[in-house]
Structure 1
Amino acid sequence: MAVVQQKEPSCDSCSQTRKKKTNMASVSSDEWRTVCDKFTNAQNLTVVESRNDPENDPFRSKYKARELLREIHCSLKSFEAGEGEAERGGEEIGDQRPIEPPVDGQLEDGFGQGFSGDSPAGLRAAKLGAVEYYLGVNHVDTEELSAGQEHLMNCMKLLERCRVSSENVSLFIHVRNQLGILWAGRDETETAQGFLETAESIYQRYIKEDGSPPTDMAEYFTTEEKLLTHQERTKRFELAYTHTMYYLAQVYKNLGETERAATYCHSTLQRQLQLNQYSPMEWALNAATLSQYYITKGRYMEGRHCLSAATVISGLAGEVPSEAAAQESETESERREQLMQKRAEIARCWIKYCLNVLQDSKKLLEDSIGELDTDRQEELKRARRREEEEEEKGRKSALLFGSEDTFDSIVSLEEKVRCLLPLDFAEARAVFLVGQNYVTQAKEYFQMDGYVTDHIEILQDHSALFRALAFFEEDLERRCKMHKRRVDMLEPICNDLNSRYYLMIRRQMMFELAEIYNEMMDLKLTLANRQADTQSLDNHTIKKFNHLCSASAKYFQMFLDSLCSPEGKIPEHLEEEVLRPALVARFRLARLHSRLISSSPSVQLENLDKSLENYKYVVQYCEAHPEAKATVETELELSTEMVGLLPLKINRLKAKMTANN
């Protein structure tokens, strides 16, 4: 990141600066001090006093500040007229018609245009422009956007008389930042983009061609003894550019340019740390949110770094007040609520990190039927050493967060969870345990009482963590127990939820429970076949198998019933969001009914009839709605095949029953 050079001025340069500050007004020191005092009061009213304005008069202090700014503007115009300077584009406030903003690409950046920034006329124009800027911000803050736009554009017009220099570059950037915010708020994203990208180019060009700490706008109205130091100027200028980057991140996000948005967001967060200008919890939440972008792109090193930094920086906000302290003080109660909520949200981002790492690893290692491909696993393990060497190189090239006080803590936290995809059960379990720890943290705040939707989403993520870990488990009995844990955490809540208020969530849980029981059924049958070798299954195993099979069928049927009308009528047309789940549920029900084990021919016949009925539904629905075929190609192919085969099996069973009778 480019940093303004911090050169200590000589005594001569300091005196020259002071001389300019006094002479530029060409008025008595008392008159100029009055202007400076008014500006100081206006700033105090805007920044400090406005916080205490009553609810029934929320802009009282800002209206007072506006009047002071108008008086300053009149004084500046009076000074200018007294010197006999011809007015160039500086009409009285309120006399101008709104100026339309230039389109992207037509903005002048001010380099090499108009007067030199060191000339008296150029500086007077910049000072008038600064007043217009502050008036524009004042109007925007009081929700008078058109008037705010007019003043900001007046500032732009006045700056056309100036060449960009150390005395006015800050104003050049600030006014474009504000216009960018204004137009972004109107959903005119491309117009906002033009202003902000011009602000960015002005900053970058100034750093390259000059680089000295520039005058801050507030110094236009500051007496000699209150001028800022070089360090203070640098900090304010860099903060203005940080705001440019922050707003550009939002603009690029709205334009769908997610990669650029992430880059600007990351740089903004880094600069905020370097400048020590941030709220710990707000910064941490933004970093955690950024991690989710990196995670979706499989960039786990950057995602982990963002989350580790978020966790460490959030700790700078202090300890969560106790319940007793919260009950005694409303302020402590609000602080407790905010800290717990935001830290719980960061914990949820960690859960997503761990879950995505495990799921991506599963996709990498599974074969065509969803089982572990051991050959692929060994191949990846052999390549792991080279990957670990490249990890450190990647870290050095990444944009890292932290200061001397926090960097070591961030690195220490990162080391507790690897960013490389796990290749076996031990590595997967380490990631799982980190995720499970954050599940516990998140649930402490997002409890069922008060946060039903959030609590259930966390449980669903916990279930998904178990499912991903089970993929790596070679012991089928232990794998089955992991799925049982999923049932235990989801089933009670699913059965207790009120469908009237939580229908969609309940449908999700029904479908997931049906799939869990189906997976457990397959595992139990595989395990029983291995143990029994070629012998028939014992009664205990058959009973267990049928229980799991029936439980799966029950939840699939509950899901389908939830789609029916209050009168129990099956919908003729399935909505897009439930089309595939509904047809898959029908297909699975058909398979489950055909797999139930019974020694009674009549029960077998009943099960086969139900199976055929569900297979037929899939085929007939797709015939009536051809657009549905693409969503269930495999299921439709198998259903069509079974609709042809099952009647033969049913007829043979009927014939056998007749012969026995």
Structure 2
Amino acid sequence: MASSYSQDWRAVCDKFRDAQTLSDVESRKDPENDPFRSKYKARDLLKEIRTVLKNLDIGEAENDDNDAECQTEEPVDGGSGEASSRRCLGDSDAGIRAAKLGVIEYLLGVNHVETEELSAGEEHLMNCVKLLDRMTITQENVSLNIQARNQLGILWAGRDEIETAQGFLQVAELTYMRYMKEDGHPPMDLTEFFVGEEDQLPQQERTKRFEMAYTHTMYYLAQVYKNLELFERAGKYCHSTLQRQLEFNQFVPLEWAINAATLSQYYITKSRYMEGRHCLAAASVIAGMAAQETEEECETREQKTGEIARCWIKYCLNLLQDGKKLLEDNTGELDVDRQVELRRARQKEQEELEKQRKSTVLFSSTSTDTSNSICELEDKVSCLFPLDYEEARSVFLMGQTYVAEAKEYFKMDGHVTDHIEITQDHSALFKVLAFFEEDLERRCKMHKRRVDMLEPICKELNPQYYLLVCRQLQFELAETYYELMDLKLALADRQDDLDAHTVKKFNTLCSASMRFYEAFLDSARNPEGKWPAKLEEEILRPALVAKFRVARLQSKLISASPTVQLDNLGRSLESYRFVVQYCEENPEAKAVVETELELSEEMVNLLPMKMNRIRAKMAAK
């Protein structure tokens, strides 16, 4: 390469620029019946450049073999970016020539991958890596090193060869870390090998592109670790990716927001509510930056905002449920002693949380307003487990706010399943709030709210098309009425005599619960209305629990008539026997309903004696 300004070299640079334009710009205009037309034209130009580079390399190799050996052992130029730029334009340096050829092999590899020719793409990318492996890491080749391995990581991940992908990406990560430790100057971008000196990139732009390449490495590693089920590591890399995107202002607001909201769900599963809340607050704030000038943009923003709202609902619901688990005794009621103990430890817990917050890597933005907005949103909801009704109610109200926000997009008309899932979460929020409520009458009202929101949907759905959803709603409604029945029973125990209204209300609740349990059980029958010899695994426990509770409800019905009492107890006995008989015929079911089976066996022995006593009284009259 005699001179960077020679006519031949300018022709090469022109071809390179044309190839880039074809690949990045013109390809977007290609017709559907010829989608890769511009990519193929770009490929032809890249092949021509490769031929020129190889011919030049052969002509000059004899003159500088010794010099090339020297350059492969030491970094080419550890100084300024300006010096590096001059050297890439035509110096007879073997390392620079190899890097130029590596860039073309890399771009040919990407071109083949983009045109769905993966084997050819892999070959070119490996040619690039082999060229680079003969050289030390320098300002001229470090970015190419990372990007080539990123592409190989993506390619192998697409083939489900996750460990192979991991190997390439980890080398990319180590390459970046080593370079930043040993050099750290803004390295050359791939495009700079084929432009004139006047078109070299400023150092700020070099840094931006280099850091973006490494951010991609982090992102791909997050996906790899997720596929390897190394979720802790995947979460760490995902968090780092999001942080780097904010730091270098390399993000699309809605895409970033959804990724942050998704990461929050991982933290929630680990009961790391401080981090989960932070991710959600950042997601909500960043989503607010998204453009919404066109109708399509408005629609997209509404959808993503709805999705983030659903993540907030899960945050509030899980925080309440985990708090409930801490406070409940072995009967599922509030353990007051445990509550007092946790209250005493609350101050220390808050101090530890503050220390944890300072040591945790939180998202930072160059915008002070953005950071302040994130903090303000975080302050609206606690990340500590609620210990009493007031604390629980605060979390509940936040969750309920996001229920309303999510339903603005996920309406019943057009988003049936999503709308129902949100409504089920709303019901679950009421259910867990009721645990913290000491007043039994107010508890009843909360469960009644659950019935009011779920029952109309259940009646409206066609089981033929929404069988699974119908089953979920039927079982939940049955459970809700069951809880209402238990609460009314507890209230009735406080009275000396039950009046007719109380008895009627109690029986109505029992009947409603049984009706939904029976509807759930009927869904398991075959088209002829018969029970299968063996229940499907996913419905085994719910079905046997439903039968057990139907048995209990039938025996709880209140009647002044001995004949009706006998009839109710007889049906109860039949349901208890069903549970016992099924477990005898299918021994593997015993472990699934161990408690219910034990009680059913007991009732199978006790109920006949109770029925005989009623008959004896009837005969005595």
In the aligned structure 2, how far is the partner of 1:512 from the partner of 1:419?
28
Question: 1:23-68 CA distances to partner (integer Å, 9 max, x unpaired)?
Answer: x665652222221121122112222222222212211221111111
| Match in the other structure for 1:324 | none
| Match in the other structure for 1:523 | 487
Shift of 1:582: 0.4
Equivalent runs, 1:444-459 vs 2, <5 Å: 444-459=408-423
Question: Alignment partner for residue 364 of structure 2, among 388, 391, 402?
Answer: 402
Amino acid at match of 1:162: M
2:98 alignment partner, SS class: helix
Shift of 1:134: 0.4
| Match in the other structure for 1:214 | 187
In the aligned structure 2, how far is the partner of 1:498 from the partner of 1:417?
38
Shift of 1:375: 1.1
Question: Alignment partner for residue 563 of structure 2, among 602, 607, 615?
Answer: 602
Question: Alignment partner for residue 364 of structure 1, among 326, 332, 347?
Answer: 326
The answer to whether the Cα contact below 8 Å between 1:517 and 1:549 also exists between their aligned partners in 2 is: yes
Shift of 1:353: 0.3
Equivalent runs, 1:403-552 vs 2, <5 Å: 403-405=365-367, 406-530=370-494, 532=495, 535-552=496-513
Shift of 1:402: 3.1
* Residue segments in structure 2 that go unaligned for 5+ positions in a row: 78-91
Establish whether residue 646 from structure 1 lines up as the match of residue 619 from structure 2: no
| Match in the other structure for 2:340 | 378
Question: Alignment partner for residue 340 of structure 1, among 270, 295, 302?
Answer: 302
RMSD value over aligned CA atoms? 1.7
Question: Alignment partner for residue 224 of structure 2, among 251, 254, 274?
Answer: 251
> Scaled by the length of structure 1, what TM-score is found?
0.89
* Residue segments in structure 1 that go unaligned for 5+ positions in a row: 1-23, 89-109, 322-331
The answer to whether the Cα contact below 8 Å between 1:360 and 1:421 also exists between their aligned partners in 2 is: yes
The answer to whether the Cα contact below 8 Å between 1:290 and 1:306 also exists between their aligned partners in 2 is: yes
Which stretch of structure 1 is more off in the superposition, 30-39 or 597-606?
Answer: 30-39
| Match in the other structure for 2:83 | none
| Match in the other structure for 1:144 | 117
The answer to whether the Cα contact below 8 Å between 1:348 and 1:439 also exists between their aligned partners in 2 is: yes
Question: Alignment partner for residue 72 of structure 1, among 42, 46, 49?
Answer: 49
Which stretch of structure 1 is more off in the superposition, 305-314 or 158-167?
Answer: 158-167
Question: 1:215-254 CA distances to partner (integer Å, 9 max, x unpaired)?
Answer: 1111111210011111111111111111001000000000
In the aligned structure 1, how far is the partner of 2:312 from the partner of 2:2?
58
Amino acid at match of 1:139: H
The answer to whether the Cα contact below 8 Å between 1:367 and 1:373 also exists between their aligned partners in 2 is: yes
| Match in the other structure for 2:519 | 558
In the aligned structure 2, how far is the partner of 1:84 from the partner of 1:563?
78
Question: 1:79-99 CA distances to partner (integer Å, 9 max, x unpaired)?
Answer: 2233254999xxxxxxxxxxx
The answer to whether the Cα contact below 8 Å between 1:115 and 1:121 also exists between their aligned partners in 2 is: no
Shift of 1:71: 1.4
Shift of 1:349: 0.3
| Match in the other structure for 2:132 | 159
In the aligned structure 2, how far is the partner of 1:130 from the partner of 1:583?
65
- Runs of 4 or more off by more than 4 Å in structure 1? 24-28, 110-116
In the aligned structure 1, how far is the partner of 2:374 from the partner of 2:549?
47
Establish whether residue 352 from structure 1 lines up as the match of residue 314 from structure 2: yes
In the aligned structure 2, how far is the partner of 1:335 from the partner of 1:318?
7
| Match in the other structure for 2:196 | 223
Question: 1:550-578 CA distances to partner (integer Å, 9 max, x unpaired)?
Answer: 11111111111111011110111001000
Which stretch of structure 1 is more off in the superposition, 343-352 or 71-80?
Answer: 71-80
1:392 alignment partner, SS class: helix
In the aligned structure 1, how far is the partner of 2:70 from the partner of 2:576?
74
| Match in the other structure for 1:58 | 35
Equivalent runs, 1:228-247 vs 2, <5 Å: 228-247=201-220
In the aligned structure 1, how far is the partner of 2:330 from the partner of 2:475?
23
2:571 alignment partner, SS class: helix
Question: Alignment partner for residue 38 of structure 1, among 15, 18, 23?
Answer: 15
In the aligned structure 2, how far is the partner of 1:87 from the partner of 1:496?
82
The answer to whether the Cα contact below 8 Å between 2:475 and 2:516 also exists between their aligned partners in 1 is: yes
The answer to whether the Cα contact below 8 Å between 1:115 and 1:122 also exists between their aligned partners in 2 is: no
The answer to whether the Cα contact below 8 Å between 2:579 and 2:597 also exists between their aligned partners in 1 is: yes
Equivalent runs, 1:262-341 vs 2, <5 Å: 262-319=235-292, 332-341=294-303
In the aligned structure 1, how far is the partner of 2:39 from the partner of 2:64?
29
The percentage of aligned residue pairs carrying the same residue is: 69
Equivalent runs, 1:563-582 vs 2, <5 Å: 563-582=524-543
Q: 1:618 to 1:113 in 2, by over 3 A?
A: farther
In the aligned structure 1, how far is the partner of 2:464 from the partner of 2:493?
43
Q: 1:623 to 1:265 in 2, by over 3 A?
A: same
1:317 alignment partner, SS class: coil
Shift of 1:488: 0.3
| Match in the other structure for 1:15 | none
How many residues were matched structurally?
A: 602
| Match in the other structure for 1:7 | none
Shift of 1:393: 1.5
Q: 1:538 to 1:81 in 2, by over 3 A?
A: same
